[in-house]
Structure 1
Amino acid sequence: MPGGFDSLYPVYIRGLAYLRMGEGRLATAEFQKLLDHPGIIGRFVIGALSHLQMARAQKMAGNEAAARKSYEDFLTLWKDADADLPVYQQAKAEYAKLRKD
């Protein structure tokens, strides 16, 4: 994925679009493209957010075990985040709900 952020962002947006459309499997494929390149995405916020979006896509696709792992990966990456960040709070709530189900 040469080009850094410019080449990564469209993949991330495409994954988000698939999530909005309810296409969990297609979204999973897009986010996996990003997660396959940790040396590149690790420098950008979409790197961490890709773990969160992957979790959402996996849950949507019916793969709850994989979704739990992806939520754990995201929460580990953001363990030192400001506790009042809305995206962080939302991820924690989604993960807690998934663990109860």
Structure 2
Amino acid sequence: MEPVDFAEVLAQIDVETERLGWTMEQRREHLIKNYGKRSLTLLTEVELLEFLQYLASQPTRALDEIFIKTSSKQSRNLLPPRRTTRIPQLLRISTSSRIPHGY
């Protein structure tokens, strides 16, 4: 059996929590609830692998869950904070799809 690279496991946990849209507080709450520990560094190797497996098994949130438009402050607080530093590839406009001037 090949040894596990736990640096890679930790990196993959970060990727999965980002994919799910979890905040650090949400991750911490999950760790406390399920493992009684506040940090990834306190988990055993087995617990780290279990946590990664759990995250990977969760479905990616649908766009309508992420971009809910509501006037309810409580509902807005359930959404992760907006990130304005990265523009998704799907939103980039290629030069061939630009509308000519005069339209």
TM-score, scaled to structure 2: 0.24
Structure showing greater radius of gyration is 2
**Normalized per residue, which structure has more helix?**
1
TM-score, scaled to structure 1: 0.25
